[in-house]
Structure 1
Amino acid sequence: MTKTNEKIHVLADESLGGIKREYVEVDRKAEVGEKIVITASNYEEREEIYVAGHYGKVIAESEFSVNGFEADFNGFDNSFVGDDGLWYVGGPDHGEYRVLEPTNIVHIDGGRYEMVDREAEVGEKFIIVNADVQTEEPYSNGDVFTVDESWGAGDVVTVCGRLINRREYRILVPVESSEEEPQPSDPIDVIANLATRVAELERENKRIKEDLGWNEMGPGRIAELRNADSDIRHDIAALEEKVEHDRAENEEMDSYVYEEMKRMKDEIDTLHKDNRRHGEEIAQLEKGVHAQSQRHLYRQQEIERVWERMDRIESETESLKYAAKETDGKVAHLESDSDMRLFTAEEVAALLNAMRERQ
């Protein structure tokens, strides 16, 4: 820890990656998250809790007093840290401490710089105060770069090739310091410095108004821009809500599609199983049809053979009929040409039987 005077303190700023930053004492009630410096202590002789000059950070409000709170004295260049470093601070008039408010002055590589909120120019140094990494090259709050290129809307490209957005950085303007400069503790010098600072701010304000076209627009234009900005923010919120709603619907649709695809896959698997079963049944039917066809062919061949035999019998019958007819003709001719009587077969048989009986 380094002091430039009794009212200014230089402490590491965690929000800037631990870079040293100047703080000024303010006599008011501390709030959670702020740094404090002890100005009076009831524990000066005991040296086991905290003493004047110790630094701490407010971590919680007190349950016992509206002006009290719990502070963490760890992590500072204090002369000692009592127990776990967590102690109650405060009283009826918060007279034990002063709040340390950060200034725009930082200490880097032994130099003092003022962090100025404006667009960077080529060759200037700047510090990251609100890192929003959009590229593959990482960086964080407290990193210091030099401008190599200046793009539109205040965006810059560093010497190492990183693209930094306007809202992410502050320009580092060297602050000339001298031991002969009046100390802020001198009221006259403080007033003079304040007057100078006010004049600088007025000039800066005038320049900003000219850059914004204040004289052309008038104060009413700012209100219109604010209203337009409010409308845009409202539209953005509505779009974000719609995107969230659409995302929820898409998730529901994805779930429905997944279930449908699963159901259809099950149906396809069932169809494949049915197809295999039907194929087996068709194969069995084809086998049975083939056997039936063989039997039918055999029967057809048998029928054809029967028909052939019937044709032969019919042919033989016709031949016998023809022969009988010729025989009848010959017999009739013989009977007409001879006086001999022809016996029938029955008569011949009867005659033979009679002859046997006589014998």
Structure 2
Amino acid sequence: MAKTEQKTHVIDGVTYVEVARKAEVGEKVIIVDRDSPQESYKDGDVLVVSFVSSTGIRSVDAINDVNFTGYISDREYHVLEPEAYDRDEVIETLIRKVDALEQRLAEAEEGERQLFRLFSRLDDICENLIDKAEDAEADIALLDERTGGLRKCR
């Protein structure tokens, strides 16, 4: 595998360091130099190792009509190693994120209540307008009845 500068990747909230070494079963690898354009994977894809051989690895994520075994040569991938982390720092970060999400939820719920009140007022206004329109129609019908001949004279 070609030696490259270490890169980091964040996957599901965990930071991984890209390392050029032989992978082990269960580890995540990232494709860095795909051998064939016919493969189901491409550069940048993250796959999980399910088998290790002397010249490469296998991953069920790499199986397709051309690659029945999911084989990936050692020169095509780098291993993703999770970075060490401070447990307390992670917990504090998660608490801050939960607090922020709870605040956003409270704001969304208040917005929902305001919308409900507005729609309720809108329903009342519509009902009032319908009642007035019906009253106006009745008044027009009554006036037509009372002035029956006058309208036709025009």
| TM tier relative to shorter chain | 0.3 to 0.5
Q: TM-score scaled to structure 1, two decimals?
A: 0.20
Larger RCO (CA within 8 A; separation ≥ 6)? 2
